[in-house]
Amino acid sequence: MKTLLLVGATSDIGRAVALEYAGAGWRILLAARDPAAGRRTADDVATRTGAPVSLHALDVLDDDGLAAFVDGLPELPDTAVCVVGELGSQERAQTDPAHARTILRTNFEGPALLLGILAERFLARGSGTLVGVSSVAGDRGRGSNYVYGAAKAGFSAFLSGLRNRLAPAGIRVLTVKPGFVRTRMTEGMKLPPLLTAEPAEVGRAVYTAAEKGRGDVIYVRGLWRGVMTVISLIPEPLFKRLKL
């Protein structure tokens, strides 16, 4: 039986990914910074799929605890998926450095350091798949969310470098750009239906790309690749005049 480590068990996307793997017969290790909240996902996944599920406490901002967390798991997983992130408030981040730092660390530093440690363990074993959930927001900095976007850009670059380094050793690194997803993070936002996925759609896309496909970077809804290519091509003198 193969094992998945899902980091960010309380997230709607995380729950959907865990359900997808559990339904395919995998053992599930869930990590949450609040184990009591993570318990709901653990019970739900176990009840709905019958898969063996265990729950582990992890705050990805606890740098010193990351290696101990990985080494304390009941086993080294075959695949690790990190969905940890925080949208935060761009407006608040502009005047509150502590808030900006939390956004930067939660979307970049914590997930990157954790996946970096897992990468070394996978390299030593000679197998494994790492999946990082980044964002289209990292494809180009925009006035409305550049703190979050910059952190996701850093995370995407980290995953790209890790992939480049580990590919010859047969370790896969997958970057997932979900586009808009209807979750707690986007609650109350008006989202364009064509560009908005349901969590279950993201769960399926992650499982298929990580376990059945060969891709490196996926946009859950393909339309986003076109949208972000166009946005990336807009020359800076024009881009700075747009309200995005």
Ligand X SMILES: NC(=O)c1ccc[n+]([C@@H]2O[C@H](COP(=O)([O-])OP(=O)(O)OC[C@H]3O[C@@H](n4cnc5c(N)ncnc54)[C@H](OP(=O)(O)O)[C@@H]3O)[C@@H](O)[C@H]2O)c1
CB of 237 to ligand X, least distance (A): 28
Residue 197 φ/ψ, nearest 5 degrees: -100, 160
In the complex with ligand X, the residue whose CB is nearer, 54 or 123, is 54
Window contacting ligand X (CB under 6 A); options: 78-86, 90-98, 123-131, 223-231: 78-86
Question: Is 148 annotated as catalytic?
Answer: yes
Binding mask 135-154 for ligand X (x = CB under 6 A): x-------------------
Q: Is 207 in the site for ligand X (CB under 6 A)?
A: no
By CB under 6 A, residue 11 contacts ligand X: yes
Q: Is 44 in the site for ligand X (CB under 6 A)?
A: no
Number of residues in contact with ligand X under rule CB under 6 A: 28
How far is 195 from 135, CA to CA, in rounded Å? 13
Told to check if 85 binds ligand X by CB under 6 A, we report yes
Compute the distance between CA of residue 19 and CA of residue 34 in angstroms, rounded to an integer: 19
Instruction: List residues binding ligand X (CB under 6 A).
Output: 8, 10-14, 33-34, 37, 58-61, 83-86, 106, 110, 133, 135, 178, 180-181, 183-186
Q: Which residues are catalytic, by number?
A: 148
